[in-house]
Structure 1
Amino acid sequence: MEQHWRDRVEHVWDRTSELSDAEVLAAIDALVAERPDDDAEALFEAASGRDYAGLEAEAAPLYREALEAGLDEPFRTRALIQLGSTLRNLSDYDASLEVLDGVDDGHPLAPAAAAFRALTLRDAGRPDDALAAALTALAPTLPEFGGAVARYARELS
């Protein structure tokens, strides 16, 4: 049952290029309605649907509810990143940074969190800190010059 529901959710997300934003949201909401009101995964999908449709103000509290309801991986870190991005879009930069800082540096999605952190810092009027965040995330991936890039990043912030 659980996997069948997840497969149906993924099917909706796979078809976004064929559907309008309203159709995506309606399809996600129909699937969410099949689950209990406090189901963490369903809350996450409801938030994601609203986020996708540009309804960030509706998405943010649903992301928080999903996390408070005990959302597990592989969705927990995605929810943190998506919430951080949503809060940035809502111009709540301090909250965005706080959420994004909650992503474990060792998680495979940590570079995405770093990217959204850099975007948040830039939008908050802190371009040097944004560049430092981006360079700090990039430095470990450089086979050469990583140390130099990391040092320059520290000088910016």
Structure 2
Amino acid sequence: MEWQRRVDAVWASTGERSEADVVAAIDALVAERPADDPSAVFEAAGARDFAGREAEAEPLYRRALELGLPDPWRAQAVIQLASTVRNLGRADESVELLQRELAEHPEHELADAARAFLALALHDARRPTEAVRTALIALAPHLPRYRRPIAAYAEELGTS
């Protein structure tokens, strides 16, 4: 799709643009779409998140999800929303969002990313043992060696 290709080009050029320019470029592309286009709303949210404007991004992420944003963007929106609410000081809400996402979609291609953000949220929620356990569970499948013992140690952390 031509529109998505142009959106992707903006994201690929973020190293060469200011945050304000990224927001303006994404907003110009969003303006080409209907107001109820979940992909456009998601991109508007992401641009604000990128620019550190989390309070503006949060309702846009929620709206994109309500509008039926399809995968893989749906999972990405949940992860980014959870990160946003964590950055807004609501770690417990972030934990809930990510735990629900992982319970409903444990094998999604972004599950390990969700676990990484969950570990951060658990840390912020003052649940360090769960945070370490979650991070190790996400890491273990990617280890060429020690996969089995790391996974076992992570499981032991859940029972201590």
TM-score (norm 1): 0.91
Alignment pair present for 1:156 and 2:154? no
Structure-1 residue corresponding to 2:61: 63
How far is the alpha carbon of 1:143 from its aligned partner?
A: 4.9
Structure-1 residue corresponding to 2:110: 109
Alignment pair present for 1:130 and 2:128? no
TM-score (norm 2): 0.90
How far is the alpha carbon of 1:99 from its aligned partner?
A: 1.6
Could you report, residue by residue, the CA deviation over 1:19-65 in whole angstroms, capped at 9, with x for unpaired residues? 10000001111111111111100010000000000001111111010
Instruction: State how far apart, in whole Å, the 2-side matches of 1:38 and 1:78 are.
Output: 18
- Give the unaligned 5+ runs of structure 1: none
> Equivalent residue of 2:35, what SS?
coil
What is the root-mean-square deviation of aligned Cα atoms in Å? 1.4
Structure-2 residue corresponding to 1:44: 42
> Equivalent residue of 1:17, what SS?
helix
Instruction: State how far apart, in whole Å, the 1-side matches of 2:43 and 2:10 are.
Output: 11
Instruction: Give the 3 Å change call, closer, same or farther, for CA 17–141 of structure 1 in structure 2.
Output: closer
Instruction: State how far apart, in whole Å, the 1-side matches of 2:18 and 2:25 are.
Output: 11
| Aligned-pair identity (%) | 57
> Equivalent residue of 2:14, what SS?
coil
Instruction: State how far apart, in whole Å, the 2-side matches of 1:12 and 1:100 are.
Output: 28
Structure-2 residue corresponding to 1:95: 93
**For 2:75, which of 60, 73, 77 is the aligned residue?**
77
> Equivalent residue of 2:49, what SS?
helix
